[in-house]
Chain A
């Protein structure tokens, strides 16, 4: 198709539509507002619906309703809105609702700095709702990845019947880049498993805990049920501890048994390197400049860039840590993902954070200096 000069938010909308998104609701907030704006313009053209809600609680509520009626749905906000999504993310988890949630991160806490970038919602996305069940969170580093990972977020949401986070940031969403989206390699579009017509329907049926129950959309031939309450496979409230535990294990197993499939990353491991730069999001771009710099200075260094932050790609991280004596983790927060690396790093491996939250990007020089890499 050709070259374009678009920002991350445009790419997110394109990725969503390519994946079959046909419902969007959002509440304006910088730096996510233009997603709402583009969606209002683009979704109705293919028969979809996009609208502005009265607040973030309504926005995600609309999306949950639409998703359970069979529409692929997305909402987008920033940190303050994620706080308001919290309870409904729990609902989407217990109700096994496919849903894509875009968090265009900005400097927090609270209102923070509306027009400034940050990556402060990393652990927040993991522990966003009561109950602490696993989530899927993807983190793009470029405009092209914003397109690709939004598309993949829809696939994961459908495939596993879960809410999926796309953790963008002002620095990707509002930065323009030269892209050719046709060159982005995408898998086929996935649809949620749907039940055959005419059967008696159980909305949460599974034989093995990791199995994904077939959905029946509200409005399809068979009557269905959805509930925020602790329920059994039929969607009826239950207080039976054995059944409750079985359902909880199921929500967790869906994601935990599919880690290999969900984990997206790119690694550039150099034989003989004893230093590793582990990064994600926009900061990985400064990390890659730092890696080039080190190598041209004759240093050996490995690099691991994660696109999937949750579930944590533990195998991949352990693999990249083999033979490493120091791992440097640069983040535009005070060390949130470093917590995961700390627990995975074998004894004797030094885990060093390069952290700031002053609204500016971490630069390659800061990584090299504060990581003591030269």
Chain B
């Protein structure tokens, strides 16, 4: 900590503030300066994040760090800054315009509760772009885009942020004598804190609506919106809670084996398609099968296809195995094609019609397949799966395939299941391997 005493956090190096005479933003910034003088932070430990709009011109008049980002998004940069460096004091200056375009960030910053102080310079219109209406323009308010009076309703910024979970919320006027003190409290609050400060845009909203200081007081009274400190709770901030919950220790890796040592019989790339239904564990079955192939010294790729609603419809896996590096990951001409459900059949019917005579097509006995050149074998996968477990149908089918072809050993599949699957799933699948072997021998 330095011993420097800061008599001001503002600088006039860039000349006077750039606002129209009487603009409420000027008073607001001077109150923020008073609050900082009271708090005496090191300027390098404070970031003023300013939104777009006239209020967004403010940051450069402070000697603190300044971050001037996109319209409505200031709370997002503030969140990133604070999470990256929790020791920073992060203050956001945003207009009522920013609260509209960035409404979701306002709600979510309140809900998330990162320790940020939001000061809203609410002048009921877009000053910078010529006095258009905003989400806080009162009903009947005249603006350049509501020339005959606003027919929309003004948003109660405190009510919505409190509704979204804001731990600290305050509403007041730019003229309030205790504004700097309220800002100090907000900055000291360890969590999201917001101040909705009503003030005058002397260029647009004030003249169009016959507003002055007194009328502003009347406006806030007749608005039905509450003033003063409206929420104050001590829910732990996101960044504090995060550290309590996040996983620790080193990240798990999916290492397979340093020395694959089981045999295989492949000389060239071999493509296997397995077509089933969502909910049949096709993807994890294909993965454990590929892992077994890798344990046998092969390279593998697995490319899946399924609809976005993963619990319904088809599920398809294309597995390539090769003693060499695999390039193309889809399968132009499958060597083996397993169909184990109606959904899988439906999805692959056009493909099955065009399969060449070199392809071994192994289909569940209960399915009727279209005419094809492929070498067809039917095996009762589904009825076998009903005996030992519905979800093991894929393993049963792939074990039959191994028994039939000897691409790699049954033992490799058993090892992969015991190594990479656990509990009941592994136990059932080990049984399924034997079942698949038997099916092929019986068939």
A228 CB contacts on chain B under 8 angstroms: 52, 68-70
Q: Does A159 contact B (CB under 8 A)?
A: no
CA distance A140 to B68 in the complex (A): 35
B287 touches A176 (CB 8 A): yes
User: Which of B19-27, B117-125, B328-336 is near enough to bind chain A?
Assistant: B328-336
Checking A1, A225, A285 against B60 with a beta-carbon cut-off of 8 angstroms, the contacting residue is A225
Return A145 CB to nearest CB of chain B, in Å.
12
Nearest chain-B residue to A181 (Cβ)?
Answer: B253
Interface size, A (range):
35 or more
Return A119 CB to nearest CB of chain B, in Å.
14
Checking A3, A73, A285 against B328 with a beta-carbon cut-off of 8 angstroms, the contacting residue is A285
- Using A61-B79, A228-B70, A236-B14 as known contacts, say yes or no to A5 and B254 having CB atoms under 8 A apart: yes
B73 touches A57 (CB 8 A): yes
Q: Does B217 contact A (CB under 8 A)?
A: no
Checking A25, A223, A226, A286 against B64 with a beta-carbon cut-off of 8 angstroms, the contacting residue is A223
Checking B43, B104, B260 against A58 with a beta-carbon cut-off of 8 angstroms, the contacting residue is B104
Q: Does A20 contact B (CB under 8 A)?
A: no
Nearest chain-B residue to A363 (Cβ)?
Answer: B332
A91 touches B294 (CB 8 A): no
Checking A2, A64, A217, A286 against B258 with a beta-carbon cut-off of 8 angstroms, the contacting residue is A2
User: Which of A48-56, A185-193, A309-317, A343-351 is near enough to bind chain B?
Assistant: A48-56
User: Which of B80-88, B174-182, B341-349 is near enough to bind chain A?
Assistant: B80-88
B83 touches A226 (CB 8 A): no
B307 CB contacts on chain A under 8 angstroms: 115
Interface residues of B in 327-373 (CB under 8 A from A): 327-330, 332
B80 touches A4 (CB 8 A): no
B60 CB contacts on chain A under 8 angstroms: 225, 236-237
A229 touches B68 (CB 8 A): yes
B88 touches A65 (CB 8 A): no
Q: Does B105 contact A (CB under 8 A)?
A: yes
Nearest chain-B residue to A175 (Cβ)?
Answer: B303
- Using A55-B104, A177-B326, A365-B332 as known contacts, say yes or no to A65 and B80 having CB atoms under 8 A apart: yes
Contact with A along B80-108 (1 / 0, CB 8 A): 11111101100000000000000011011
B290 touches A176 (CB 8 A): yes
A64 touches B253 (CB 8 A): no
B104 touches A54 (CB 8 A): yes
- Using A5-B254, A178-B300, A225-B65 as known contacts, say yes or no to A70 and B84 having CB atoms under 8 A apart: yes
Residues of B participating in the A interface, judged by any CB pair closer than 8 Å:
14, 43-45, 47, 49, 52, 59-60, 63-70, 73, 76-85, 87-88, 104-105, 107-108, 242-243, 246-251, 253-258, 260, 287, 290-291, 294, 298-308, 326-330, 332
Given contacts A53-B76, A219-B87, A285-B327, 14 further A-B contacts (CB under 8 A): A3-B260, A25-B80, A42-B251, A57-B76, A60-B76, A65-B67, A65-B82, A91-B70, A176-B301, A218-B47, A218-B81, A285-B328, A286-B328, A361-B329
17 A-B pairs in the complex with CB atoms less than 8 angstroms apart: A3-B260, A5-B287, A23-B83, A41-B251, A45-B246, A45-B248, A57-B105, A61-B80, A65-B49, A68-B80, A87-B70, A91-B69, A177-B299, A177-B302, A178-B299, A227-B66, A228-B70
